């Protein structure tokens, strides 16, 4: 079985259904994965772009975004870089009202028992990681 790396535009067309023609193509590749013909791989950077576009352009809440993406990343035929951490980051972003990418960074650093250096005191106070201000 071949592995196909999904670009953010394919995921966004599938999720939004817009434009219809491209959404249909995206749905076809998703069905192929569901049927076991291919394995679809989603990188964390691609997922970060999808979250950003759904939040900034489509104005979806983090609760909506997390709900859709957790279901999608749990679907048959979908592989993702460190699935558990990725889903936990989506949940943290939703539950703690922080940026998704900050949640990913926090979980990556915490897994290594390391510290994040950031100016974003507000978000990192709510994340399960050691952090410090620069300087």
Non-local (6+) Cβ contacts of 91 within 8 A are 66, 70
The domain spans of the chain are: 2-81, 98-135
**Model confidence pLDDT, tens digit, residues 24-44:** 999 999 999 999 999 999 999
pTM reported for the whole predicted model: 0.92
CB 94 within 8 A of CB 124: no
Report residue 41 as tokens.
Answer: 């791989």
**Model confidence pLDDT, tens digit, residues 76-128:** 999 998 999 999 999 999 999 999 999 999 999 999 999 999 999 999 999 99
């Amino acid at each position: 079985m071949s592995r196909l790396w999904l670009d953010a535009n394919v995921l966004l067309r599938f999720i939004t259904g817009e434009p219809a023609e491209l959404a249909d193509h995206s749905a076809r590749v998703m069905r192929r994965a569901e049927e076991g013909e291919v394995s679809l791989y989603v990188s964390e950077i691609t997922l970060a772009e999808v979250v950003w576009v759904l939040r900034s352009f489509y104005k979806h809440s983090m609760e909506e975004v997390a709900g859709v993406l957790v279901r999608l990343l749990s679907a048959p035929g979908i592989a993702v870089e460190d699935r558990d951490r990725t889903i936990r980051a989506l949940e943290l972003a939703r539950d703690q009202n922080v940026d998704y990418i900050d949640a990913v960074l926090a979980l990556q650093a915490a897994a290594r028992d390391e510290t994040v250096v950031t100016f974003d005191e507000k978000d990192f106070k709510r994340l399960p990681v050691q952090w410090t201000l620069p300087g």
